[in-house]
């Protein structure tokens, strides 16, 4: 038996199976289309709810919470002292301390 006759026999067998199970064949063909359609529909539905936040600088904005503003003001005035390991003295830097650096002194 040549390879072309084997292929023809295999294709005939698969065609007969698919024709006998038409419901299964239609589900195999339509389910990916239906799932894709549902996902695209959900994507477009949630695009309406997407919150667009404009790009701007938030550093100079005012705080609406007076307790938080008081806390941040007090924290910025605190003196954090971590003695440098090399024995030199210096003024502590809150920015360096809050960023997680070990030494919080200005150079």
Tens-digit pLDDT profile for residues 71-107: 777 777 776 555 556 655 555 556 655 665 554 444 4
Q: Tell me the two tokens of residue 7.
A: 């292929």
CA distance 12 to 84: 84
Arithmetic mean of pLDDT, 3-30: 91
Taking residues 41-64, what's their average pLDDT?
75
Please, are residues 106 and 82 in contact by the beta-carbon 8 Å criterion? Answer: no
> How far is 107 from 70, CA to CA, in rounded Å?
29
Check whether 9 has a pLDDT greater than 90. Answer: yes
Helix, strand, coil fractions of the chain, as percent rounded to 5: 55, 0, 40
**What does the pLDDT look like over 33-47, one tens digit per residue?**
999 999 999 998 888
Question: Given the structure tokens 């003024």, which residue do they identify?
Answer: 91
């Amino acid at each position: 038996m040549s390879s072309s006759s084997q292929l023809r026999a295999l294709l005939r067998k698969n065609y007969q199976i698919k024709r006998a199970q038409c419901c299964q064949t239609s589900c195999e063909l339509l389910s990916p289309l239906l799932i894709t359609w549902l996902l695209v529909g959900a994507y477009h539905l949630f695009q309406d709810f997407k919150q667009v936040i404009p790009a701007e600088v938030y550093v100079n904005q005012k705080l609406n919470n007076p307790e938080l503003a008081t806390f941040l003001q007090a924290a910025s005035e605190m003196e954090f002292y971590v003695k440098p390991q090399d024995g030199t003295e210096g003024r502590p830097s809150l920015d360096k301390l809050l960023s997680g650096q070990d030494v919080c002194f200005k150079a």
